[in-house]
């Protein structure tokens, strides 16, 4: 896990990374299901927005324009009148699914940038 001050700092860091990589952006407006088999692999970065406004436009554009297999995904909700899931809940669901697909791969040390 890495923490960045803003989306611009993260995208600059992401672009500097070598090797295969992909962005998975979470949005209630996406059509692709978050638990699709084969979606997560080594080099995958999960991107979440705020509970009230979602992903910033720059983040959505970065995911949609990434040369890799990046994707926008959604966590389906059954109730029509629910605005969004709590951010911590969404992150927990996304990280759990990524680890499940990676067979519980060991995570590197946490670094704050």
57-109 pLDDT per residue, tens = 999 999 998 876 789 999 998 777 777 789 999 999 999 999 999 986 665 55
Separation CA 43–CA 46 (nearest Å): 10
On the CB side of 14, CA atoms within 13 Å amount to 25
What predicted TM-score, i.e. pTM, was given to this entire model? Answer: 0.83
Q: Would you give the distance in Å from CA 109 to the centre of its chain?
A: 19
Instruction: Tell whether 44 is covered by a domain.
Output: yes
- Quick one: what percent of the chain has pLDDT higher than 70? 90
Domain that holds residue 23: 2-105
Instruction: Tell whether 111 is covered by a domain.
Output: no
Instruction: Tell whether 15 is covered by a domain.
Output: yes
Instruction: Tell whether 75 is covered by a domain.
Output: yes
CATH of the domain at 30: 3.40.1280.10
Q: Which element (helix H / strand E) includes 72?
A: strand 71-74
Separation CA 13–CA 26 (nearest Å): 19
Q: Which residues contact 90 (CB under 8 A, 6 or more apart)?
A: 26, 48, 75, 84
Instruction: Tell whether 49 is covered by a domain.
Output: yes
Instruction: Tell whether 7 is covered by a domain.
Output: yes
Domain count of the fold of the chain: 1
Instruction: Tell whether 113 is covered by a domain.
Output: no
Instruction: Tell whether 110 is covered by a domain.
Output: no
Q: What angle do CA 72, 75, 79 make, to 5 degrees?
A: 135
């Amino acid at each position: 896990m890495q923490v960045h001050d803003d989306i611009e700092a993260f995208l600059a860091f992401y672009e500097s990374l070598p090797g295969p990589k992909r962005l998975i952006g979470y949005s209630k407006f996406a059509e692709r299901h978050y638990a699709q088999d084969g979606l997560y692999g080594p080099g995958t970065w999960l991107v979440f927005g705020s509970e009230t406004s979602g992903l910033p436009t720059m983040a959505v554009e970065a995911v949609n324009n990434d040369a890799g297999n990046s994707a926008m995904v959604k966590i389906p909700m059954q109730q029509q009148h629910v605005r969004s899931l709590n951010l911590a809940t969404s992150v927990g669901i996304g990280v759990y699914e990524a680890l499940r697909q990676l067979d519980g791969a060991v995570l590197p040390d946490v670094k704050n940038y």
